[in-house]
Structure 1
Amino acid sequence: MTNTPPVRARALILVLALLAAFPPLATDMYLPAFSGIEAHLGAAPGDLEFSLAVFFLGLGIGQLIIGPSIDRLGRRGPLIAGVVIYCAASILIPTVDDVAAFTALRFVQAIGASAGMVVGRAVLSDLYSGREAARAMTVLVMTMTLGPIVSPLAGSLLTSVLPWQSVFLAMFAVGLAALALTLAIVPETLPPSRRVTISPIGLARRYAGLLARFEFILPLTVASLIQAAMFAFITASSSVLMGVFGLSRIAFGVAFGIVALALVVGGQINHRLLRHTAIHHLLDRGLPLFVLAGALLLAVSGTSHLAVLIVPVWLAVACVGALSANAMSLAMATTRGAAGTGSAVLGAVQFSLAFLCSTLVGAAIDTPVRALALGVFVPALLAALLWFAGRLTSAGRASAFEAR
């Protein structure tokens, strides 16, 4: 890292993690409120699942907008603007009374929430390289996973005593706190001498150049497929846990938090292994375990016992926590001089796949357990096949992978 003092560095990562946690907070916290929102808005079955998919789409588009901006304007300005947009949308959502307006504001909220994700990755890329980048990314991912652990239970507690609007008011409060911390702690890590002004044609060429790099597109796609499995669980969780297994709102929050805890466990294991194991070796060993967990989930998808179902879900989510940061750090390591644009492409592809996976799972919500199982197994299998196929090529054996 640069000469940033260790205490300051830890504080910076914590703030970046809070900012990167906006998306899981904005998705997981309102899951227990689905029934109340549907009743208030007169929504049809599947409408709120679609609003969740639209949120993922907004995260992808937002990163495409913000990524080039932070390479041109620096990191802090676009980040602060994104947090302000997130706060504004969060305070407006409780005022709506129809599904269309709700979904539109969720899209805007996602645009703002995307800033923390893309800037966080770019800042870490500015400050770290190699295994240190992967370890820093793992700490970021582990810390931000407190959002998925805490937010469903928080949403459950809020909606058990207050109307659904309280969930979005809580998001607004968290956004204000994050804005204050950003202003106080997050530095500008891209000096003016390294900023670039790019025309639309130049930007298109930069995007095309990144997408033409095998060493970028392979880990990018693998990381996106790994994350898609997590989004399948998020989308189906309310219908599976409350709809199929009849959990109360509070029990749903607890069960969701237990599953989300697997992200922290997987991330912690990965963080320790990175001290003495190369990143590509961890992916070589972890992806088959990920596929196995998905296959087990598919095999037990007809069970009537929640404990039987939760075990393979937990294992699959642990694999997400262990593997996603590694693949992301490999991709970001190839974007020197264009970290913002690279982070934007990574986020756009990731959440485009999330949008697709979430939409497909939502469309099959009449068989939610089966939809969840396929939503985990298929991305895991595709990620593994793509990774090992890429590793067999001459480009896949390039020193860009072997050195990390």
Structure 2
Amino acid sequence: MTITRPVWGHSLSASLLLMAPFDVLASLAMDIYLPVVPAMPAMLSTSPLVIQLTLSLYMVMLGVGQVVFGPISDRIGRRPALLAGAVLFAAASLGVASSSTATHFLGFRLLQAFGASAALVATFATVRDVYADRPEGVVIYGLFSSMLAFVPALGPVAGALIADNFGWRAIFIVLAALSAPAILNAAFRWHETRPEGQAGVRRSVLPIFASLSFWTYTLAFSAAMGTFFVFFSTAPRVLIDRAGYSEFRFSLAFATVAVVMIVVTRFAKALVVRWGIAGSVVRGMILLLCGAVLLGLGQVFSSPSFGSFIVPMWVMAAGIVLTASVTANGALAEFDDIAGSAVAFYFCIQSLIVGAAGTLAVTMLNGDSAWPLIGYAATMAVLVSIGLALLQSRAHRFQKR
């Protein structure tokens, strides 16, 4: 059966206004309550480990949920998957706000992540449907990265201000309120983009797992996002508990990392054009390693401070942006006809790696220090470099045939 792509009909700017809120909200739900994380155990009569799980399991469920919704979006379409997930996200956010026990808080966080996963997989599958093999595809990934960089810049600051004035529950009420206009806009303007005829196609997903490029670039995405995950998991304990920062001062220091991400994103497109996908990832891994070395020097020879903890993270932030701007194109290039499933596995595997390895690093390597960040970033950068070397070796062998 012939597969054809429906006409999208929206300009690039209109597409971004339509798609971006779902990507931003899924990330904002992770970042916005960071300033109150150190106080949450006392508020909910639980342990710091359980509160850490509300961060880690959100990340894991964000990936697992996409494995469920990715094939569903290939079967029934992107639009119904997106709307169902967005409504669940909004409802679960209200549930989190009403929680009085750690069990309820954690349960609603999992539902919140499950809803966000549906919206995310539908959004990125739509990007593949509409912008595959078009120059706008590079632009939209870069702009998504740029907008997401605002989330860690503004999210913790907004969370601190909301919590100080209205209490921590208001943070999650705000998330639900921000979801409403995005849902209404999508309900009226987001038409179906799944390629026509795809419902009758039953291509196996096994080639995804047999693809070295898929695994290498998914691992690279995990290196980038996991480095940031470990950073925001440890930063409150390092800067608030050990360095004595106030919640608001911590939020401002945290925001400087996002500002660096925004600045680097401004130049990412030109750099990717110059270096290509593999070259950009190589340089991203080098920056992660350089940042890890600087953190190690600060950890050994200095006490926790802006200079010893935040400044090295600026270097890593540049590597994160450079890497995350290209990994989707590298991992998903071969799977346009099963974009929903490919996107789902891409995000799921990344989320599982980040959730498991990132949490292990935080819990096993002294979470109130820089060692978890050093260990995770350095290990992942080495593994990705090995994968890229294998890809290059395979390409050379293919050229000789």
Residue matched to 1:209: 207
Partner letter of residue 219 of structure 2?
Answer: T
Q: 1:128 to 1:266 in 2, by over 3 A?
A: same
Deviation at 1:26, TM superposition (A): 0.7
Residue matched to 1:370: 371
In the alignment, the residues of structure 2 paired with residue 224 and residue 326 of structure 1 have an alpha-carbon distance, to the nearest angstrom, of 13
Deviation track 1:237-294 (CA, whole Å, cap 9, x = no partner) reads 2112211211111111111111122222232221222345422232233332332222
In the alignment, the residues of structure 1 paired with residue 224 and residue 48 of structure 2 have an alpha-carbon distance, to the nearest angstrom, of 28
Deviation at 1:376, TM superposition (A): 2.6
Deviates more, 1:42-51 or 1:271-280: 271-280
Residue matched to 1:386: 387
Deviation at 1:82, TM superposition (A): 0.3
Q: Tell me the secondary structure at the aligned position of residue 67 of structure 2.
A: helix
Residue 125 of structure 1 pairs with residue 123 of structure 2: no
Q: 1:234 to 1:15 in 2, by over 3 A?
A: farther
Partner letter of residue 295 of structure 1?
Answer: V
Residue 237 of structure 1 pairs with residue 235 of structure 2: yes
Residue matched to 1:65: 68
Given that 2:89 and 2:115 are in contact with CA atoms closer than 8 Å, whether structure 1 keeps it comes out as yes
Deviation at 1:390, TM superposition (A): 2.8
Partner letter of residue 319 of structure 1?
Answer: G
In the alignment, the residues of structure 1 paired with residue 240 and residue 346 of structure 2 have an alpha-carbon distance, to the nearest angstrom, of 33
In the alignment, the residues of structure 1 paired with residue 108 and residue 153 of structure 2 have an alpha-carbon distance, to the nearest angstrom, of 25
Q: 1:46 to 1:91 in 2, by over 3 A?
A: same
Given that 1:149 and 1:256 are in contact with CA atoms closer than 8 Å, whether structure 2 keeps it comes out as yes
1:143 to 147, 160, 178: 147
Deviation track 1:310-366 (CA, whole Å, cap 9, x = no partner) reads 111111012111111211111121112100000000010110011113321441455
Partner letter of residue 84 of structure 1?
Answer: V
Deviation at 1:129, TM superposition (A): 3.2
What is the CA RMSD across the aligned residues, in angstroms?
Answer: 2.4
In the alignment, the residues of structure 1 paired with residue 140 and residue 104 of structure 2 have an alpha-carbon distance, to the nearest angstrom, of 38
Residue matched to 1:134: 138
Q: Tell me the secondary structure at the aligned position of residue 337 of structure 1.
A: helix
In the alignment, the residues of structure 2 paired with residue 396 and residue 37 of structure 1 have an alpha-carbon distance, to the nearest angstrom, of 55
Q: 1:98 to 1:182 in 2, by over 3 A?
A: same
Given that 2:6 and 2:196 are in contact with CA atoms closer than 8 Å, whether structure 1 keeps it comes out as no
Given that 1:229 and 1:380 are in contact with CA atoms closer than 8 Å, whether structure 2 keeps it comes out as no
In the alignment, the residues of structure 2 paired with residue 196 and residue 306 of structure 1 have an alpha-carbon distance, to the nearest angstrom, of 56
In the alignment, the residues of structure 2 paired with residue 145 and residue 185 of structure 1 have an alpha-carbon distance, to the nearest angstrom, of 26
Q: Tell me the secondary structure at the aligned position of residue 216 of structure 2.
A: helix
In the alignment, the residues of structure 2 paired with residue 64 and residue 279 of structure 1 have an alpha-carbon distance, to the nearest angstrom, of 25
Deviates more, 1:140-149 or 1:153-162: 140-149
Partner letter of residue 151 of structure 1?
Answer: G
Partner letter of residue 194 of structure 1?
Answer: Q
Aligned length: 392
Q: Tell me the secondary structure at the aligned position of residue 368 of structure 1.
A: coil
Residue 312 of structure 1 pairs with residue 312 of structure 2: yes
Deviation track 1:192-242 (CA, whole Å, cap 9, x = no partner) reads 4233475xxx7xxx3322101223222222222222111111211211221
In the alignment, the residues of structure 1 paired with residue 396 and residue 159 of structure 2 have an alpha-carbon distance, to the nearest angstrom, of 46
Residue matched to 2:287: 289
Q: Tell me the secondary structure at the aligned position of residue 309 of structure 1.
A: helix
In the alignment, the residues of structure 2 paired with residue 118 and residue 45 of structure 1 have an alpha-carbon distance, to the nearest angstrom, of 31
Q: Tell me the secondary structure at the aligned position of residue 386 of structure 1.
A: helix
Partner letter of residue 152 of structure 1?
Answer: P
In the alignment, the residues of structure 2 paired with residue 324 and residue 158 of structure 1 have an alpha-carbon distance, to the nearest angstrom, of 30
Percent identity for Structure 1 against Structure 2: 24
Q: 1:398 to 1:23 in 2, by over 3 A?
A: farther
Residue 328 of structure 1 pairs with residue 328 of structure 2: yes
Deviation at 1:9, TM superposition (A): 1.9
Given that 2:214 and 2:330 are in contact with CA atoms closer than 8 Å, whether structure 1 keeps it comes out as yes
Deviation at 1:50, TM superposition (A): 1.6
In the alignment, the residues of structure 2 paired with residue 80 and residue 383 of structure 1 have an alpha-carbon distance, to the nearest angstrom, of 35
In the alignment, the residues of structure 1 paired with residue 221 and residue 133 of structure 2 have an alpha-carbon distance, to the nearest angstrom, of 17
Partner letter of residue 391 of structure 2?
Answer: G
Give the gaps of 5 or more residues in structure 2.
Answer: none
Give the gaps of 5 or more residues in structure 1.
Answer: 400-404
Q: Tell me the secondary structure at the aligned position of residue 245 of structure 2.
A: coil
Q: What TM-score, normalized to structure 2? A: 0.90
Deviation at 1:155, TM superposition (A): 0.2
